[in-house]
C-alpha cells in the first residue's frame, strides 16, 4: 500500500469522543450499506491523520445488535483509513485479567447470529483468510504503545463475541470458560471480518471492565459497576491512541493490505451491475 497511513479509531462503550486531540472536523456521509453509527471526526495527531467513529453513536444510542458494521467499515475506508484500532469494553474470563487491564486480541470466536458479516454478496463472491484475524504489525505496535502509557497489557487473547444485548447466564459463562477464551464482548464481530475484507490493518484493544458472572465472588454484572471502570479506561484509551498514532508512519507493511489478492473467485462483473456498483468503493481499479 503506497499511501500515507491514516489511523482510524472505533470507540466503544465509554469512549464517545476523542476530546483532547485538538480541532476535529465532523464528516457526515452515507454508504451503499446506509449511514455509519455517527458523523466521523477527522483530524490529526502530530503528522498522522486520524479518523474517529463512536461505535454506539454520539449518545450511545445504538445497542450491539443494531450496529451497522458494514457502513462503519466502508465509511472509514472511503475516508482513507489504512489502520483501524477498535476499542472494546469486555468481561474478563480469567483471574489473571483484572478489571482495568488491556488485552491485545489476536483471535475471535463468533457467537453472533443476526449480523451481516460480509461485503461480498449478490453476485460477487470472495473468501478471505481469517486464520490470523488481527494484523500482527499493528497489534505489536498497539501493545507497545499501551505499555508505554502505563497499562497492564496482555499481549494476546481470544475474544468471544456474543450477540447481546443481554449479559451471559452463569451456565453460558461457565461454558465459554471451558472453551479457553480470555475475554467476552458484544461488538468485535463482524467488525474484524469486514475490516479484513476491506484490506484494513485491524486490531482490537479490549479493556476489561469486570469479571463475567462465572466468577463466584462476583455479584451479577451491572451497568453501574461497568461505568465506573469505563470512565477510567476512557482516559487510558485516549493516551494509547495518541501514543500509537506517533508510530503508525514507521510501521512495516501489513499483510492485511493485500487480503483480497486471490480471494475473489467470481468471474469479472459488468461494471454496471448492482453488485459492482455497491462494491465500487472497494474494488475500483483492482487488477485482480
What's the half-sphere exposure (Cβ side, CA atoms, 13 Å) at 208? 26
- CA–CA separation, 146 vs 152, rounded Å? 8
Question: Is there a contact between 106 and 156 (Cβ–Cβ < 8 Å)?
Answer: yes
Please give the Cα distance from 128 to 145 (Å, whole number): 29
How is 236-256 classified by DSSP, letter by letter?
HHHHHHHHHHTTGGGPPPPGG
Cell numbers at residue 160, please?
468471544
Return the active site residues.
210, 212
The number of C-alpha atoms within 13 Å of 242 and in the hemisphere containing its C-beta is 13
Rg over CA atoms, the chain: 18
Residue 252: how many CB atoms within 10 A of its CB? 10
Amino acid at each position: 500500500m503506497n499511501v500515507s497511513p491514516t489511523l482510524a479509531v472505533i470507540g466503544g462503550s465509554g469512549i464517545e469522543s476523542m476530546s483532547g486531540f485538538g480541532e476535529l472536523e465532523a464528516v457526515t456521509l452515507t454508504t451503499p450499506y446506509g449511514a455509519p453509527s455517527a458523523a466521523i471526526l477527522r483530524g490529526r495527531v502530530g503528522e498522522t491523520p486520524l479518523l474517529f467513529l463512536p461505535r454506539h453513536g454520539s449518545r450511545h444510542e445504538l445497542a450491539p445488535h443494531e450496529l451497522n458494521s458494514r457502513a462503519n467499515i466502508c465509511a472509514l475506508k472511503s475516508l482513507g483509513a489504512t489502520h483501524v484500532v477498535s476499542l472494546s469494553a469486555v468481561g474478563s474470563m480469567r483471574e489473571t485479567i483484572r478489571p482495568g487491564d488491556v488485552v491485545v486480541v489476536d483471535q475471535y470466536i463468533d457467537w453472533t447470529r443476526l449480523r451481516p458479516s460480509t461485503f461480498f454478496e449478490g453476485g460477487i463472491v470472495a473468501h478471505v483468510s481469517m486464520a490470523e484475524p488481527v494484523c500482527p504489525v499493528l497489534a505489536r505496535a498497539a501493545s507497545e504503545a499501551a505499555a508505554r502509557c502505563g497499562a497492564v497489557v496482555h499481549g494476546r487473547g481470544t475474544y468471544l463475541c456474543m450477540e447481546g444485548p443481554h449479559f451471559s447466564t452463569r451456565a453460558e459463562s461457565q461454558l465459554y470458560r471451558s472453551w479457553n477464551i480470555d475475554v467476552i464482548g458484544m461488538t468485535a464481530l463482524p467488525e474484524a471480518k469486514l475490516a479484513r475484507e476491506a484490506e484494513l490493518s485491524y486490531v482490537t484493544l479490549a479493556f476489561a471492565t469486570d469479571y463475567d458472572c462465572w466468577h463466584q465472588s462476583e455479584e451479577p454484572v451491572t451497568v453501574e459497576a461497568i461505568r465506573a471502570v469505563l470512565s477510567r479506561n476512557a482516559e487510558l484509551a485516549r493516551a494509547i491512541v495518541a501514543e500509537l498514532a506517533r508510530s503508525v508512519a514507521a510501521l512495516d507493511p501489513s499483510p492485511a493490505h493485500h487480503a483480497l489478492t486471490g480471494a475473489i473467485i467470481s468471474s469479472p462483473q459488468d461494471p454496471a451491475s448492482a453488485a459492482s456498483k455497491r462494491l465500487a468503493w472497494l474494488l475500483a481499479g483492482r487488477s485482480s
